[in-house]
Amino acid sequence: MPAATVATAPITANSASSASPRASRGSPLRRAPRPRGRGAPRSVQQLLERRGVLSQLARDLPIQQSSLEWLRACIPPELAPHVVSVRSKPGSGSAQPGSAAATAELIVFADSAAWCARLRYVLAGLQQPIDARVGAPVRISVRVLMQTAASVRP
């Protein structure tokens, strides 16, 4: 059987440029860049441990828990179960001009907006004991923290 001849045209730079938009700009064809130095994929837990987020949360938890217990003991008993959480932030440097100390912030979370309103009035009367416990002037804010059905206390 006679061999079939296939006519091939030589590939030139001009014929390659029509096939690729990169080649038309005068740059050679390249492969997509590969990630360098990334290694094996990491789990979310490994990433959080690497950044120290979990260790920071673990250090802050006992402080937040003791602050929550102290605050619940200071407010009226009918209001205490509606205080969900307490978070403190160190001074942010946003103190009044001329004052040396930055004002820290205490964020109190209640389970509904109605309890937030009552809690604001009670906490206004506790400003001095809270400042004394923290050791610096504290700005108090009250926010709503809605709880899911799984996290509601019995």
As a whole number of angstroms, the distance between CA 14 and CA 79 comes to 81
Q: Is the pLDDT of residue 42 over 90?
A: no
**Closest listed residue to residue 118, CA positions, set 153, 86, 152, 144:** 144
Burial class (CB in 10 A: 0-12, 13-18, 19+), 109: buried
Mean pLDDT to the nearest integer, 116-129: 94
Number of helical H runs and strand E runs in the chain? 6, 3
For residue 97, the model assigns a pLDDT of 46
pLDDT tens-place string over residues 12-40: 555 444 555 555 565 567 666 655 556 77
pLDDT tens-place string over residues 57-112: 888 889 899 999 999 999 999 999 999 999 988 775 544 544 545 788 999 999 99
For residue 98, the model assigns a pLDDT of 44
As a whole number of angstroms, the distance between CA 72 and CA 82 comes to 9
For residue 1, the model assigns a pLDDT of 53
Q: Is the pLDDT of residue 148 over 60?
A: yes
As a whole number of angstroms, the distance between CA 25 and CA 114 comes to 65
Burial class (CB in 10 A: 0-12, 13-18, 19+), 143: middle
For residue 54, the model assigns a pLDDT of 76
For residue 142, the model assigns a pLDDT of 95
pTM assigned to the model: 0.58
**By the 8 A CB rule, do 140 and 130 touch?**
yes
For residue 95, the model assigns a pLDDT of 47
**By the 8 A CB rule, do 90 and 110 touch?**
no
Phi, psi for residue 139 in degrees, rounded to 5: -95, 125
Task: Look up residue 78 and give its two tokens.
Answer: 């009918």
